[in-house]
Amino acid sequence: MAGRSEGTDGGEFQSPALERLVRSLSRLPGLGRKSATRLALYLVVDENPAEDLVDAISCAREQVRHCSRCGAITEQDPCRICTSASRDPKLLCIVSSPVDILPFEKAGFFNGRYFVLGGLLSPLDGIRAGDLPFDRMVELIQQDEVAEVIIALDSSVEGETTALYVQRLLQTSDLQLTRLATGIPVGGALAYTDEVTLQRAFQFRRAF
Ligand SMILES: [Zn+2]
DSSP string, 66-78: E-TTT--EESSSS
**Residue 78 falls within a domain, yes or no?**
yes
pLDDT tier at 189 (50, 70, 90 boundaries)?
low
**Residue 4 falls within a domain, yes or no?**
no
Q: Which helix (H) or strand (E) holds 149?
A: strand 148-151
Distance 149 CA to ligand 1 centre (A): 16
Q: What is the pLDDT of residues 133-173, one digit of tens each?
A: 999 999 999 999 999 999 999 888 999 999 999 999 999 88
Same domain for 99 and 20, yes or no, is no
Give the per-residue pLDDT at 7.
Answer: 43
Q: What is the mean pLDDT of the chain?
A: 87
Q: What is the pLDDT of residues 6-30, one digit of tens each?
A: 444 445 678 888 889 999 999 998 8
Given a cut of 60, whether residue 178 has pLDDT beyond it is: yes
Distance 205 CA to ligand 1 centre (A): 23
Distance 194 CA to ligand 1 centre (A): 23
Handedness of CA 89, 177, 175, 138 (dihedral sign): negative
Same domain for 115 and 55, yes or no, is no
State the residue range of the domain holding 202: 66-207
